[in-house]
Amino acid sequence: MAAVTMVEAIRQALSEEMERDPAVVLIGEDISVYGGAFKVTEGLLNKFGWERVIDTPISESAIIGAAVGMSYMGLRPVAEMQFIDFLACAFNQMTNFVAKSHYRWGAPVPMVVRGPSGGGVHGGPFHSANPEMYYAHTPGLKVVYPSTPYDAKGLLKSAIRDNNPVLFLEHKFLYRRIKEELPEGEYTVPLGKAIVRREGADLTIISYAAMMHTSLEAAEKLAAEGISAEVIDLRTLMPLDKETILASVKKTSKLLIVHEDTRTGGIAGEIAAMVCENAFEDLDGPIQRVTSLDTPVPYSPPLEERFLPGVPDVMRAARELAQY
């Protein structure tokens, strides 16, 4: 099998799920004839027709709202946000209608909301969002943010089959930058399970999405300096895989969390609190964070570069922690 990009892996997941289950339909802006702003749904119109690849007006609240309605009818809609930033326009529907449905009145909402997320491509303040914490902080939603084509495909399939609303974030920096060979047959990757991408002994680095690659690169370089970093890819942010995190912290006794989301209120805080609660005695050093700045995402390349965490930032923090 040829290696595929993340875009292709996601497209495969959609296509295979639609073939498998006629209840799976797509809804979003410019997803049919055009195949979506990032061409993720390209070709699906021809395969599945107008009734299953539904173009909408520029109405994010209507997209999310209609998807909920469809899910009540037993369908499994996958809604695309042209950029995940625009989910802000449907925030009320997501956090109040979708998230609370099952708890309030026992109505499950088996839908997926997916879209290009993250920075690093000079998208500026409105095309670079990492909105994971708005939604991970909202009880009732699951949040997935894969870092590889393999995971993207397997996790999206699980998300579609899940009986709960899943926010599926696709880092646009990774869309076409990495390729991976995928297995022939059908496979899934379970939601809620982190993965140890690299074993290590001196400290644990937790990350996800694009920063997972930054962290891995840093870990490679740290190894050359004699620092052995274990790297965990969260993959799913909600529910959080506490077991994998705690097991690693117990092993390395030191924890560094790296995320592209802004610092204050990012998931690093949640992980820090969780680890304090469950493995305080195991910690041999202060939990550290490497994150983006607490600012909007700036446009100009030098600014965005400063905004985003880089390999040197991770290395610096890891070194300090290792030496602690």
Partner 1 sequence: MAQTLSREQHLDLYYYMRLNRSLEERMVRLFRQSKIVGGLYSSLGQEGISVGTAYALEARDWMAPMIRNIGALLVKGCKPRDIFTQHMAKYTSPTLGKDGTSHFGDLKTKHIVSPISMLGDLIPVLAGVGIAGRYLGQKIVAMTWIGDGGTSTGVFHEGMNFAAVQRAPLVCVVENNQWAYSTPVKRQVPIRNLAERAKSYGIASAIVDGNDVLAVYQAAKDAVERCRAGDGPVMIEAKTHRMRGHAQHDPAEYVPKAMVEYWTAQDPIGRYEKYLTNAGLWNEKKKAEIDARIERELDEDQKFAEESPLPPAELAEQGVFCDGCHEIKARWERPVEEVTPPRCSIEMDGWTVEDFGQLENIETEKMESVAVSKLAPSDQRSENVSGDAKSGVRSGGQKNTGAKSPARHPLRKGKN
| Binding positions for its own copies, rule: CB under 8 A | 85, 88-89, 91-92, 95-96, 99-100, 103-104, 125-126, 133-134, 136-137, 139-140, 238, 240, 262, 264-274, 276-277, 280-281, 283, 285-289, 293-296, 298
Nearest distance from C-beta of residue 83 to ligand TPP, angstroms: 7
Residue 159 vs residues 10, 54, 113, 156, 266: alpha-carbon distances, Å: 12, 20, 10, 5, 23
Task: Give me the half-sphere count of Cα atoms (radius 13 Å) on the Cβ side of residue 38.
Answer: 24
Return all residues near 120 (Cβ < 8 A) that are at least 6 apart.
128, 173, 210, 260, 304, 308
Query: Residue 115: beta bridge partners?
Result: 169
Helix H or strand E segment including 56: none
Task: Look at the block and give the residue holding tokens 């790296």.
Answer: 258
Q: Point out which span in 81-89, 136-144, 169-177, 259-267 binds ligand TPP (CB under 6 A).
A: 81-89
Tokens of 69: 């309605």
Q: Does 252 bind ligand TPP (CB under 6 A)?
A: no
Q: Does 64 bind partner 1 (CB under 8 A)?
A: yes
> Residue 95 binds what, of partner 1, ligand TPP, its own copies, none (CB under 5 to 8 Å, by partner type)?
its own copies
Of 116 and 140, the one with the shorter C-beta distance to ligand TPP is 116
Nearest distance from C-beta of residue 48 to partner 1, angstroms: 5
Q: How far is 178 from 210, CA to CA, in rounded Å?
A: 11
Task: Look at the block and give the residue holding tokens 């290792």.
Answer: 322
Catalytic residue among 102, 122, 127, 137: 127
Whether 127 is a known active-site residue: answer yes
Q: How far is 55 from 155, CA to CA, in rounded Å?
A: 24
Among positions 120-149, residues that touch partner 1 (CB under 8 A) are 122-127, 139-140, 142
**Contacts to ligand TPP by CB under 6 A:** 29, 58, 60, 82, 86, 89
